[in-house]
Each structure stands twice: as structure tokens, then as C-alpha cells.
Amino acid sequence: MTGATHCRFDGSPFDLLMETESTGQGRHQCGSRRKRSARSCGSIIEAEDAVNFYVSIFKNSKIGSVTRYAEEAAKASGRPKGSVMTVAFELNGQEFVALNGGPIFKFTEAISFVVNCETQAEVDHFWEKLSGGGQEVQCGWLKDRFGVSWQVVPTVLGEMLQDKDREKSRRVMAAILKMKKINVEALKKAYEGRFDSASGGGQ
């Protein structure tokens, strides 16, 4: 793997570090939209809360090693001695490290994590779980309760938008712009030029 995505959370803050080279094209893959170091942030209570939240949503996920602040590191960071410093974890095989740091930066949509979904049921699952306590945005984007931005995207979307028939891809884009959660059936109707009153679904 090469590179890392670096996300800072504030409140009782932590950084989220993630290896950004894809581990494969498996279902439910969680990946970064950007392939370089980046920072963003939002409010959170503790790194452990976020880690437990994410691990509860993705299959094949687990919490790994936990390190704690020793006396010198605690003095330098302003964190309590013995409190959690880092939490290593995996989401569907993708490695992350949450680091309790300092409230310096704010999260923005400049960085987001993409969840690739094979079916509408998967889109519904991740949308409901990740947006719970957070904010539904637009076009498959949401912010979770910690201020982290996610894109919950059906895999068929990329194929439709890259179609050589520009009219088909135009219709799909027009349909997406009417949605919050993405409705796969509505995308297929737009792609095929079939329209009805439900074509703007996905709210």
C-alpha cells in the first residue's frame, strides 16, 4: 500500500489514518476518494466511539491494537496519562488507525470515503447506518454523526456515467441530482429512457 489519508476529528479529538491504495474490488469496499495525504474534521467524543460505530456497520471488520499515552507523550499532547492514544481497526479488510489528537482542524467535504454497493439493499443498509445521527446530503453523499463525509454508491453508477452514449449518461446525471440516497431502479429507468413519477426517487 502507498500513501495515507489523514483525517482529524475534534471535540475529544482523534486523527483517522488510512492506507489509500485499494486492497481489491470486493463488495462493500471502503476507499478514499483521494489518493494523497489530506485532513478534515468534525466533532466527536472519543476515537473509541467512532471505531466501535464503524466496525458495527461493515462486515469483516475488527478492532486491533490499542496504545495509550505515556507520561511524556501526555504532557506534550495535553492528553491524560494512560488515556487511549491510537486504535487500529479494519473495515472490510481496509486498515485504519484512529489517533486521539487535538482539536485543530475541521472536517469538510474535501475528503470523503466511498462505499461501493452491488445492490439497492446494500445502499439502503449503509445509508441508514452511516447517516444515523448525522446528515443526509445530496447525490449519495452523507455526513455521519462524527462529521465524516461518505459516498454510498451503487457500482452500476460508474458504468452508466461512463457510457459512450452521452445522452444516457446525461439522463443518469440528471436523475442523481434529484436524489439524496441513490435509487438504483430510478437510475436504470433514466439510463434506458423510461420515466415515471418515481424516477426522481431515492429520498
- pLDDT of the chain along its 203 residues, tens only? 333 333 333 333 345 555 434 334 334 555 443 322 222 333 334 788 889 999 999 999 999 999 888 998 888 877 888 888 889 999 999 999 887 766 665 678 888 999 999 999 999 999 999 999 999 999 999 999 988 899 999 999 999 999 999 999 999 999 999 999 999 999 999 999 986 544 444 44
What does the block give as the cell for 54?
464503524
For residue 191, how many C-alpha atoms fall within 13 Å in the half-sphere facing its CB? 16
CA–CA separation, 39 and 110 (whole Å): 8
What pLDDT sits at residue 176? 94
- To the question of pTM greater than 0.95 for the whole model, the response is no
Query: Can you read off the three cell numbers belonging to residue 27?
Result: 463488495
**Domain chopping of the chain, boundaries:** 4-108, 155-192
Q: What is the pLDDT of residue 200?
A: 45
The predicted pLDDT at position 73 comes to 84
Whole-number Å distance between alpha carbons of 92 and 14: 21
In DSSP terms, 7 is beta-bridged to 16
Residue pointed to by grid coordinates 481497526: 89
Please give the grid coordinates belonging to residue 191. Answer: 439510463
SS3 call for 25? coil
Q: DSSP 3-state assignment of 157?
A: helix
**Amino acid occupying residue 9:** F
User: H or E segment at 188?
Assistant: helix 184-192
